[in-house]
Structure 1
Amino acid sequence: MKTFRFRLTAIMMTLIFISVLAAGVALGQVFKEVHINALEENMVREIKLLQTHFPFMKTQGDRETVIKYYTEKATELEELTDSRTTFILRDGTVIGDSEHNASKMDNHLNREEITSITEGTTPYGHSIRTSETLGDKMLYIALPVTSSDGNFDGYIRLSMSLKAVEEGLGRGWFLMFITLIILFVLVAFVCYRVGKSLTSPIEHITKVANQISKLDYDARVKFNRDDEIGQLGKAINGMADSLQTQLKMIRDSEDLVQSVMSNMTGGIIMIDATQNIAVLNKESERMLGIEQHRVMGRPYHELKKRHYELTKLIESSIDHRDRIHEEVRLYTPEELIVGLDGVPMFENDGSYRGMLFLLQDITAIRRLENIRSEFVANVSHELKTPVAAVKGFAETLLSGAVKDEETVRSFLQIIYDEGDRLNRLIGDILELSKIESKRSNLDCSPVHLHSFFDMVIGTLSNEAEKKQIRLLVDVPNELFMEADEDKLKQIFLNLISNGINYTLEGGQVKIQASIDKNEGEEKIVFQISDTGIGIPKADLPRVFERFYRVDKGRSRNSGGTGLGLSIVKHLVELHHGTLMVESELGTGTTFTVVLPLLQEHADEE
């Protein structure tokens, strides 16, 4: 505690010394600047008086006479103004000086007080420097002067020694040091007394703090004071009271981190610097088919028994202490495609902590990529077929091999049909792409369903008449719903046209609509039933896939693109509805579309 008192005294004395010294320097600088500014203003006034009342002699006469005259006048002026006086012509030639032989003085045109005037930076020239002729630090003030009679055109310069200013500052410094010594003595006494009064409570606080650091949370500061020491004691007691809470928060944070690790969608594996498994979360357990408690703290090489390829990648990354980004297949026992990302961990000081690996199950992503590839292949195949037909028949016609007009007409009809099919295929692909990319928005409005289906049936009537298929509509006349009419038309045109295409001649396609109230929510149930060839049960789950055909030959002959039902499914979901299918071979197929009477987003708007 004695050391503390001495340190406190030294700190306070140092602070006072620095404060007084800084104040003294600042005041000295202010005193010096104020004094110099006053001298400058006084000297400028004196030069202006000389300009008005001084008897100037012509400077174009005999040089020696001119120098003698102005030197005598300069000497007289120095006695009156207590300032060294110098007469300088415009070209910088000195023609008179009160303290030096003007004929031996060099040209003054480049002197600072003259150049500041000639460059136009100040109305009068001033500078502070050591005089080359006198050896003292001098204040120089110069002013351009042109006599009214034209006898003199040049500069009058007054200079004054700053020795008096320096002497004043010296006296100020002397007084400041005397004051510092007195203050030091007083501060030393006061600090000693203050330090002594602080020693006892601080010793007690130190003892309590040491007890708390040794996990003795019952230790408390026993005195009550209202000053800063008392506040410190209360803070120590508060710290002891809150330590248990802080420890609980730490445990809760650890539990939160553990919960995050457990619920991450990606697997985490940390292998420490000793090549043991330090962290392994639940997702890693699932992907690797292992149990955490069996591998924690054990060498990672034990994974090689089940996952050889994964272990080799981890081993290579650890050996090189480098980042890794690879894909690996795991069998647990089902096949998983896992993205493996590894990164080395280093402390701030550069020491190696181990490797952190992230395992991401990308099986679904790769499956989607395969589906996309298959889609591209199917599109290419579907496009090639009509293009090849058009090209083949066109080449035959161009070669002139066909002379029969009826055959030519037949070929042209095929070319037209294939072109029409190609146009429908491209249109369906674009529409499906637009819907799947979420760029197709609903433009809802009230739809009178009876009139709506009259319009749809009118569109398909010619197609049905060609096959003598009856189109039956059972829709209540008063039934309205809210929907995007264009997209609703697209749904039912596809479904009804699909029924016509797969129904034999003389069959029928029936459209029914009814309201279903379930739990207060009104929905409309549409059923499109045909008496067609039906769909095998094995194919029912896949009929809404793109380009999937139950009877590929019949579909192509009917002009179908294989995308209609897929478009229907997306449009129904866009209306927040559901689509179902039931079918029996040789009996027929029924598509059921359930749509809400009112669209939710329309209410929100």
Structure 2
Amino acid sequence: MNYDALVSSGLGLSLAGSEIRFDKITHLASRLLGAPVSLLTVIDDPSDRQLFKSAVGLPDKLREPRSTPLSHSFCKHVRDSGSLLHLVDAREHPLHMHNPAIDAFGIISYLGVPFHGERGKPQGALCCIDHRPREWTEQEVKLLKQLASIADDQFYLDIAVRDRARAKLLAEKAALTRESFLSHANHEVRTPLSAIFGAARLLKATSVDDKTKSLVEAIERNTSRLQALTEDLVRIAEMDTATAAITVESFDLVEVIEDVLARNRDAAHAKGIALTSNCRTIDNMIFLFDVAILTNVVDQLVSNAIQFTDVGEVRVTLGTTPKVEAVTIRVSDTGVGMGPDLQARLFDEFEGYDPRTAREGGGTGLGMSIIKREIELLGGTISVSGDRGAGTHFTICLPTARSVVDSELMEDEEESDHRHITCLECGEKLNILRRHISQMHDMTPEAYRAKWGLPQDFELSSPAYRSLRGAVKDRE
């Protein structure tokens, strides 16, 4: 192993300078054993050098090169044998008495134990050196072995940190590559799909042949499935690279759920099933979520429940946890249900209720995975329960429900003109500013704050702004 290989493998980390963590070990060894010199060495056979990973008490002639030829090394014997080397007086030892380091560096007494590398094999030694004959005690030997063990552990930790950093870099690169590929593929696929879909509609409108209409419907159905798949893939890629857009808005949660139910009521009626809700108003609570994402999640869960329910009902229930620290949204149905094995992998990519029924329903196998990740982006969790033939229950728990400021503060705010936030671009007073500046002024919140010199934590919804002002007032 040459010097470059040592550096790339981690064994040569900071050989040209002092590695603080390893220097602490050699300093401890020198102090605890009362030795003038302590070294942590790595043997580099290809370059015929002994490298000092850490050193205390080096002679001036060795401080700059931080290495010696292997001909001057006692540590090579430790590495080769994988065991302790204990020399009271090297000048009298038949195997080491001719070592040039005795005369060159005044090494008389030596105690060394193996230092292990990445694969657990000895790569060098942790040693203590004295310039006079010395009988190393059993306690000193034990201390040096313990310090060598700490050096091994520190080295393994350095390797783990290095490997983790490399793995993280590779994962981020892979995610960016996937996101870039899927974005380009989505653009290239959607254009011809739109053309096919439009042509199919025109053909359907002008055709009177039932067989032709049936074929056109098959084209429309499968084109829609492909469009849904490309959208799902791009959404997953966005979440992989942390570019998914998450906003914080205040809204009426009951109203959001009722709107979702209204959109799905015709589909439920067509199948002859009931679509009901139990969404009581939660007093003294406002909700600061991304309303678009939450709406989409609930809509998909309700739509799926209707799709897999033939008899009975689909029900949405809104509630809170016992200590009112979170809001729960429960979507239940009396449909086909699923067993524990499928529940365990339901939120994995390319999984569905059942391969056959999922295909009949036009699913991509990505929907539940996306739902889970979107709920996690909102800071919440989603779980599933039920049994085969006994219906399914999805429960969303969002811990970002926040208490409204007390009534006294609310009255104070209503007397002032802070119920809405004024858009600095056009002067319009709004309850939610974020969406307005995006749709009307094509600006991101970051760009808006930067342009008008607003703090980065400036909330872009008036209820949140009132809460912020209330907290500041309380501190005053």
TM-score range, shorter chain: 0.3 to 0.5
Higher relative contact order (CA 8 A, sep 6+): 2
Question: TM (normalized to structure 1)?
Answer: 0.37
TM-score, L = length of structure 2: 0.46
Larger Rg: 1
